[in-house]
């Protein structure tokens, strides 16, 4: 049996993995559950791990996998949950009748310092289940500044085309019309701040007219 907070956190992690393939950050979990500190998140995750509802994926920063969903919560039956999609770090099973889409693969994008995003003629085969509505393309990730978001060097970022973003979303930002980077999008006064997910890197700040949103992270593929 789970407490209400444990149940709510498990559902939040499950839904985020199903929607994006990426585990939520501790800050996002803290805000979602209206906790005062991240230590509360650590305690809840440890409790879920001890009860075999989740597991931490080894050698991967902030990577969680939902193993099962609860039948009851604090003496009350929980709503049935759909099966979680595989996390970004797991191979994606492809059934024989599963639709596979070909989306454009546009070169490499920096998850560290900005580099030029090259337009290419290649394509990437992606299970349709990983993509929601909208137009998508893929970029190969270069760098380690997003490792705490579960995004590693060599991953393929699946991007849904968009021109706007909300605070806290992971975006492809085109800087000064020729450099692109994958970062958390934030507004900071009159400036745009692009935050890494690696304590070794500093946030990047730009004037709004220097930054153009070209898409939002929709999922990840990792090859072994």
How many Cα atoms sit within 13 Å of 168 on the Cβ side?
A: 8
pTM over 0.75, yes/no: no
Given 5, 85, 183, 216, which residue is catalytic? 183
Is 85 known to be catalytic? no
- pLDDT confidence band for 151 (50 / 70 / 90): very high
Residues whose CB falls within 8 Å of the CB of residue 131, separated by 6 or more in sequence, listed in order: 101, 103, 158, 160, 218, 219
Given 37, 145, 187, 200, which residue is catalytic? 145
Per-residue pLDDT reduced to its tens digit, 75-90: 444 444 433 343 343 3
**3 state DSSP class of 155:** coil
Is 123 known to be catalytic? no
Mean pLDDT of 8-13: 89
| Strongest mean pLDDT among 35-49, 66-80, 197-211 | 197-211
* pLDDT at residue number 101: 83
- 197: tokens are 């997910």
- pLDDT confidence band for 166 (50 / 70 / 90): very high
Average pLDDT of the chain?
A: 79
Domains and CATH numbers, the chain: 4-77 (1.10.10.10), 100-221 (2.10.109.10)
Beta strands in 96-224 (DSSP E): 100-110, 115-116, 122-127, 136-142, 156-160, 170-175, 179-188, 191-195, 204-206, 211-221
For the chain, percent of residues with pLDDT exceeding 70 = 80
Output the CA angle 91-94-95, nearest 5 degrees: 145
- pLDDT confidence band for 117 (50 / 70 / 90): low
Per-residue pLDDT reduced to its tens digit, 12-46: 888 888 887 778 888 888 888 888 887 788 888 88
* pLDDT at residue number 158: 92
């Amino acid at each position: 049996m789970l407490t209400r907070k444990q149940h709510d956190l498990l559902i939040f992690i499950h839904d985020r993995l199903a929607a994006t393939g990426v585990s939520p950050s501790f800050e996002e979990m803290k805000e979602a559950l209206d906790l005062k500190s991240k230590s509360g998140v650590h305690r809840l995750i440890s409790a879920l791990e001890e009860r075999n509802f989740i597991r931490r994926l080894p050698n991967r920063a902030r990577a969680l996998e939902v193993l099962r969903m609860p039948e009851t919560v604090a003496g009350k039956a929980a709503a049935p949950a759909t099966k979680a999609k595989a996390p970004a770090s797991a191979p994606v099973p492809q059934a024989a009748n599963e639709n596979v889409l070909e989306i454009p693969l546009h070169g490499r994008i920096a998850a560290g310092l900005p580099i030029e995003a090259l337009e290419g003629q290649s394509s990437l085969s992606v299970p349709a289940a990983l993509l929601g509505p909208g137009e998508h393309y893929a970029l190969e990730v270069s760098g380690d500044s997003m490792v705490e978001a579960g995004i590693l060097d060599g991953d393929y970022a699946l991007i849904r085309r968009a021109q706007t973003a909300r605070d806290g979303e992971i975006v492809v930002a085109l800087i000064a019309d020729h450099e692109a980077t994958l970062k958390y999008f934030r507004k900071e006064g009159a400036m745009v701040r692009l935050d890494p997910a690696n304590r070794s890197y500093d946030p990047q700040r730009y004037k709004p007219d220097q930054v153009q949103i070209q898409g939002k992270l929709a999922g990840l593929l990792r090859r072994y």
